[in-house]
Structure 1
Amino acid sequence: MKITFLNSKGEITAQLEEAAKAFTAETGIEMEIIPCPAGTSPFETASAMYSSGSAPSILMVDPNDVPKFTDKVLDLSQENWVSLAMPGALDAGSVDGKVLAMPLTVEGYGIIANKKTIETASGAAFDPSTVKTYSDLETLFGKISAAGVAPVKICQENWSLGAHLFSQVYINQSSDPAAVQKFVDDLKAGSVKLMDNKVFVDFMKTFDLMIANNYGKADPLNFRYEEEPLLLTSGQAAMWYQGNWTWPNFVDSAAADDMDYVFLPLVLGDDANAYGNSQIIAGVSKEMMIDKEQNSPEQQEAAKQFLNWLVTSDAGQKTIAVDMKLIPAFTGFAYAPEDPLARSILTYLEAGNTMPTIATLPADHWEKIGGILQKYLAEQSAGKGNHETLAQEIETYWKNT
């Protein structure tokens, strides 16, 4: 018996392969991990596999992809792990009252800060909760820069810019998800002028501040994501807009669990009480579904067994929380992630200071919007960026979606 697993979370590939070996040793079920090609969305990869008649037994996709596979995957509503899910963890993976996907992890993102670097550069203790406005961030950047340290590194990857950074323009519109969705729908209808939208204008001001203080500003696109954590661990840069999924990369760059890294919100504008200026974004980031079209009933049952093993067995729980260093989306885990990024997110979660992710963006959003922002990043780094041109390009994307 052999099943396949499409993995769209590259930073846990090694840990997932080890989990597959452990599962095989325990059950006798062979398992092949298939990585998504770099630069290709999970939806595109999974769709291509379906078209070629080689659909994976388990497909790991982004939350907004779940409704696109409704007719191709099993209803998992009766699985044992459903009752163990944290409140809200099944929402993005459910369609018409049916649970179609198992959440892998709760993840969060914002500005990752190396407290030691900031405190050494500024000569004072650093409390991330004191950065509540654009002006606060600007002042902090100035202190860090004066000490000869780059205040920030902007991740130049299209998925980071399109799926994460720019998503704040949508999410920060309102604490009401319905209002956020209306804003997106109005963009599709062509009735939104981004240059008249306060959140967008404030976002661009913060983005420009980051670009002006970016490590490697002379050639901002000539970096590799895997190498960027080293800039923070070595003290060359103080901050990085990313998520807690990057901790394995930090470990590869000689970071340790006892190091003091914290999250800051991406602050927009000078109203300290504005929605988003005290919150980071957190939610289920990856969903796992089981194919019912091209895998045999026996393979489907084996795939169900693996998902249950991940959540209910000691080895599976350890894989998620300790080896993969992920925040579980389920209760009753015997293990908890020990790294500082996960701990920082848990602090925001416990205080109620998180904003939900947006799960209704088109599959090509991160690629197209990310590409537009990459172009702007390069242009603005050379002093040639234009907000109106950027806004028009984004509006055109939405009108053509």
Structure 2
Amino acid sequence: MSNHKSWKKIGALAVSSFLAVGMLAACGSSGSSASNSDKITIFNSKMEIQDQMEKMAKEYSKEKGVDVKVYYSSDTVAAHLATKYASGEPYTISMVDAKDVYSLAKEHAVDLSDQSWVKQTDQAISIDGKTYGFPVSIEARGLIYNASAIEKITGKTFDPTEYQTLDSFKTLIKELKAGGMKTPTGVMKEDWSLAGHYLPQVYEEQSDPAAFIEKLHAGDENLNSNAKFTSLMNTFDVLKDNNYAASSAISAEREVTEQKLAEGEIAFMFGGNWDWSVINQYDYSKDMGIMPVPQNTNDESNTKLVGGGSKYFFIDSSKDTSDTQRKEAKAFLNWLVDDKEGQSFIVDDCSLVSPFTNNTLAVSDPLGKSVKQYADEGKLIPNYNYLPDDHYSVLGAEFQKYLAGQENRADLATAIESYWKSAKVSSSAE
């Protein structure tokens, strides 16, 4: 049911302490659910839609006659939920990341396999044949482009499918530079962008990501001779060498880079549809989008974005949540999928890309439109959801050295190999 379903569960259970605390929840439980048996509580972990969630909850409560409250916390998801379970006051519905579903579902979530919406998406998370994770939205990454800026120089309509290979992309870069755009690209220096988004594509674009990670962990993979690492780093080098901030790459501010892209001073930046929340703060070009990372490859990865469900709801299965609450929680999820107001809430109010095929509302922003198009065409390479928690911080620092010219590619490959040899990972087949 999910693109993630067939993957082996590689990656440390980042919230093992959560489970330990959760098992103790019954001790000293106040039984507080008894006085709130009709109240539906929702934990929202996506800060940028908290206002919309609160407004929706008020309107939904009034219309359905169900008391719905939405809460947000800036703490890590696992730590925050652990405190709620320990106090015997779990949320009825919790919004978490994919890895949290894999870690928590068997212990804390309701099986939703019998729900009608399961057939409307290929992004739901299933474990051992049971569906636990309800996908809230789709996010995907690739090369964000400013078509207006490109067309101003080339004089012809920009078609991203004409630039799927690195060779064709290089030709376009040369054309842009010759036309007056001295530095056509921008590279975000943030560790989460470099090692949380770009580097993982090296894993995600392998024929078997889980097996590849196993080889890295065992020290049996020579990364610098791996075809996919070489391909993606060749593309990264073109982005790096044509970066407007090349001389001070690790000092470049994200907002400056996104403003330059929005206003057409540069034409390309690696990122995802979440970047629209920054881009739309500036005098942006209307004709923008996301395209696959150009690569000289024949495995069709250069025709797809990388992405999938970005946040997931699960319904609490504990004794502290009543059957009535669970029934209303299921009704709420169905409302998001099937009701016109629920569909509009996701797409129009929250500016998210719905993962459900029956939601045909037009996505408002251009990056979201690109993601929706690739998703509808089945052209998404699944996210790898089992990265250790310190992956982007540790390897982000190494990638920043490469970006700054402080180490070469072989050094970066060695650093990545060393990281995985000692990374806290575990393997369990589904």
Give the structure-1-normalised TM-score: 0.84
1:190-229 pair list within 5 angstroms: 190-222=219-251, 225=254, 228-229=257-258
1:161-180 pair list within 5 angstroms: 161-174=194-207, 179-180=208-209
Q: Measure the CA separation in 2 of the matches of 1:167 and 1:14.
A: 32
**1:143/1:312 CA distance change after superposition, 3 Å:** same
1:18 aligns with 2:55: yes
What corresponds to 1:337 in structure 2?
A: 363
Q: Measure the CA separation in 2 of the matches of 1:351 and 1:331.
A: 11
8 Å Cα contact 1:107/1:284 also seen in 2: yes
Q: Measure the CA separation in 2 of the matches of 1:223 and 1:31.
A: 40
User: What code does the residue aligned with 1:167 have?
Assistant: P
What is the alpha-carbon root mean square deviation over aligned residues? 2.8
What corresponds to 1:398 in structure 2?
A: 420
**Following TM superposition, by how much is the alpha carbon of 1:336 offset from its aligned partner in structure 2, in angstroms?**
3.0
User: What code does the residue aligned with 1:263 have?
Assistant: I
8 Å Cα contact 1:226/1:249 also seen in 2: yes
Q: What is the SS of the residue equivalent to 2:280?
A: helix
**Following TM superposition, by how much is the alpha carbon of 1:192 offset from its aligned partner in structure 2, in angstroms?**
1.0
Structure label with greater radius of gyration: 2
Q: Measure the CA separation in 1 of the matches of 2:62 and 2:176.
A: 51
User: What code does the residue aligned with 2:62 have?
Assistant: A
Q: Measure the CA separation in 2 of the matches of 1:3 and 1:349.
A: 31
Gaps of 5+ in 2: 1-35, 425-430
Q: Measure the CA separation in 2 of the matches of 1:227 and 1:9.
A: 24
What corresponds to 1:110 in structure 2?
A: 142
**Following TM superposition, by how much is the alpha carbon of 1:279 offset from its aligned partner in structure 2, in angstroms?**
1.8
What corresponds to 1:9 in structure 2?
A: 46
1:135 aligns with 2:171: no
**Following TM superposition, by how much is the alpha carbon of 1:95 offset from its aligned partner in structure 2, in angstroms?**
0.8
8 Å Cα contact 2:181/2:266 also seen in 1: no
**1:148/1:332 CA distance change after superposition, 3 Å:** closer
**Following TM superposition, by how much is the alpha carbon of 1:182 offset from its aligned partner in structure 2, in angstroms?**
1.3
Q: What is the SS of the residue equivalent to 2:269?
A: strand
Q: What is the SS of the residue equivalent to 2:303?
A: coil
Deviations 1:138-171 (A, max 9, x none): 2323333442353222233333333321121012
1:1-400 pair list within 5 angstroms: 1=36, 2-26=39-63, 27-37=65-75, 40=76, 42-43=77-78, 45-47=80-82, 50=85, 55-69=90-104, 70-83=106-119, 85-86=120-121, 88-90=122-124, 93-146=125-178, 147-148=180-181, 150-174=183-207, 179-222=208-251, 225=254, 228-255=257-284, 259-268=286-295, 270-271=296-297, 273-293=298-318, 295-297=320-322, 298-333=324-359, 335-359=361-385, 361-364=386-389, 367-377=390-400, 379-400=401-422
**1:351/1:102 CA distance change after superposition, 3 Å:** closer
Deviations 1:223-281 (A, max 9, x none): 5556653322212221221222333433333447xx2112221123x34x243122222
User: What code does the residue aligned with 1:388 have?
Assistant: A
Gaps of 5+ in 1: none
Q: What is the SS of the residue equivalent to 1:388?
A: helix
User: What code does the residue aligned with 2:307 have?
Assistant: A
Give the structure-2-normalised TM-score: 0.79
Q: Measure the CA separation in 2 of the matches of 1:149 and 1:319.
A: 42
**Following TM superposition, by how much is the alpha carbon of 1:370 offset from its aligned partner in structure 2, in angstroms?**
4.7
User: What code does the residue aligned with 2:131 have?
Assistant: V
Q: Measure the CA separation in 1 of the matches of 2:340 and 2:257.
A: 33
Q: Measure the CA separation in 2 of the matches of 1:392 and 1:125.
A: 42
**1:142/1:56 CA distance change after superposition, 3 Å:** farther
8 Å Cα contact 1:19/1:316 also seen in 2: no
Equivalent residue pairs, number: 382
**1:363/1:311 CA distance change after superposition, 3 Å:** farther
**Following TM superposition, by how much is the alpha carbon of 1:103 offset from its aligned partner in structure 2, in angstroms?**
0.9
Q: What is the SS of the residue equivalent to 1:101?
A: strand
Q: Measure the CA separation in 1 of the matches of 2:250 and 2:140.
A: 24
